[in-house]
Amino acid sequence: MTTNETKPGLAAILAAPTLDADMKKIADKVLRQERLTPEDGVALFEKGEVGFLGALANHVRERMHGNKTYFNRNFHIEPTNVCVFTCKFCSYSRLYKHREEGWELSIDEMLDIVKKYDGQPVTEVHIVGGVHPKMNLDFFIELIRKIKAHRPDLHIKGFTAVELDYMFRKAKLTTAEGMRLLHEAGLQSMPGGGAEIFHPDVRAQICHDKVDGEGWLDIHRTAHQTGMVTNATMLYGHVEAYWHRVDHMEKLRQLQDETHGFNTFIPLKFRNKDNEMAHIPESTIIEDLKMYAIARLYMDNFPHLKAYWPMLGRSTAQLTLSFGVNDLDGTIDDTTKIYSMAGAEEQSPSMNTAQLAMLIRQAGRSPVERDTVYNEIRDYSEVEFSEEELMN
Ligand code: V47
Ligand code: SF4
């Protein structure tokens, strides 16, 4: 089958006399590779049935990536959970005055985490945490330099736009100046956190005191102009309406048209354990799958769509691979407390390469290890694993 042919399942769905006329029009646009409008995006959320959305998103995913599903070998460092901000969905942060309940790692302690991976084939360290009032730009420049000096081959992906906005303002630097300093020290890319929902009405309710949507976009624009690639997230399934999600995706799509600096879009499902939004019920798996599918259809200029498996759990992560997702992030070792503390499925989120590759193969896809910028490192479709590797 060539990449633009429709699979029998999709053909049958599109031919069904019961298919809504608006959905049929949108499907025809997708098959012609025409861009969807914000109205189309909202209509997909309101009227798109899960099987229809999945079949269409899967068509796009296979047109772009065939059967490949990417993952990388990475580990996380979370320097601190002390944070000056008060996002209502956050289960993990502690205010400075309660810092004894949290953690604050020194540069040496963080280097010790890096050293634990000496001799292991990890390709990326992902550094992200709370916004500590005393961990400033100089502190992080020193950390990055020391990691690079110890292990030059390790790609450093670090700091959300929220952390950078605070760091640069405190250092009294422009975004471009601060970004250049970090890039020169060895920072190579940025994760997508802190985006939440850009619209100010939603931000006012869930995260009123951190960088606003325009500020987030401006920091990513500057990162792209400085020569770094970045990701983008969207925290969904709380107080927002469908049109807020579409507005968020539209703003990202416009910036991507301008800079082409985004690699991956990552919808993040709101988890409601131990936070000030605990009264809001979590989205269902069906809603999650629809979210991924619509993201794949709408974000036509984003090369990759990632499901963050520690948050979703392994089984749902496998399902997303038929709903547009082509990336399952990484083997993710060490501490990723922002999710486990918010009620994520995976309390100790770590899978070795064999386990992650098998998870992908069991979903009928081809696991391919990538580096942070999607250079392919190894195809694991045919690799045989020992029982020991799969059990560990
Ligand atoms: O911005 C916080 C989210 C994000 C909750 O770029 C929550 O590769 C759900 O962005 N329920 C930070 N989500 C982490 C992040 C990330 C993760 C993995 C990979 C990448 C990447 C980026 O975590 C925050 C916020 O949106 N978050 N609390 C919660 N209760
Ligand atoms: Fe701080 Fe990030 Fe938590 Fe917001 S989500 S309170 S910025 S750690």
CB of 132 within 6 A of ligand 2: the answer is no
The 3-state DSSP class for residue 221 equals: helix
pLDDT digits (tens, 9 = 90+) for 42-80: 999 999 999 999 999 999 999 999 999 999 999 999 999
Round to the nearest angstrom and report the end-to-end CA distance of the chain: 38
162 Cβ inside 6 Å of ligand 2: yes
User: Could you tell me if the CB of 210 is within 6 A of ligand 2?
Assistant: yes
Ligand 2 center–CA 88 separation, angstroms: 9
Please give the domain boundaries of the chain with CATH numbers for all domains.
6-65 (no CATH), 70-391 (3.20.20.70)
What is residue 184's DSSP assignment?
A: H
Please state the φ and ψ torsions of residue 94, each to the nearest 5 degrees: -130, 140
388: exposed, middle or buried (Cβ count in 10 Å: 0-12, 13-18, 19+): exposed
Closest CA to 121 of 69, 159, 71: 71
Is the distance from the beta carbon of residue 380 to the nearest atom of ligand 1 less than 6 Å? no
Cα atoms in the 13 Å half-sphere on the side-chain side of 2: 2
- Cα(162) to ligand 2 centroid in Å equals 8
Atom of ligand 2 nearest to the CA of 131: 1
Task: Write the CA distances from 188 to 117, 158, 195, 366, integer angstroms.
Answer: 19, 8, 19, 28
* Nearest bound ligand to the CA of residue 342: 1
Q: Is 126 helix (H, G, I), strand (E, B) or coil?
A: strand
Residue 296 burial by CB count (10 A; 0-12/13-18/19+): exposed, middle or buried? buried
Angle, helices 38-47/285-298, rounded to nearest 10 degrees = 160
How much is the pLDDT for 4? 64
**Measured between alpha carbons, how far is 60 from 292 in angstroms, rounded to an integer?**
12
Q: Is the dihedral of CA 224, 226, 230, 235 positive or negative?
A: negative
Does the beta carbon of 131 lie inside 6 Å of ligand 2?
yes
Distance CA 307, CA 292 (A): 8
Q: Please answer whether residues 310 and 332 qualify as being in contact, where contact means their C-beta atoms are separated by less than 8 angstroms.
A: yes
Tell me if 338 CB under 6 Å of ligand 2: no
Q: DSSP string of 262-312? A: EEEEEEEE---TTSTTTTSPPPPHHHHHHHHHHHHHH-TT-SEEB--HHHH
Task: State phi, psi for 276 to the nearest 5 degrees.
Answer: -75, -5
| Single-letter amino acid, residue 311 | M
Residue ranges, the chain, pLDDT below 50: 1-2, 334-335
Residues in the chain: 392
pLDDT value at position 335? 45
**Ligand 2 atom 2: the closest Cα is on which residue?**
130
Q: What is the pLDDT of residues 359-372, one digit of tens each?
A: 999 999 999 999 99
What pLDDT does residue 2 have? 42
- CA torsion sign for 39, 45, 49, 53 is positive
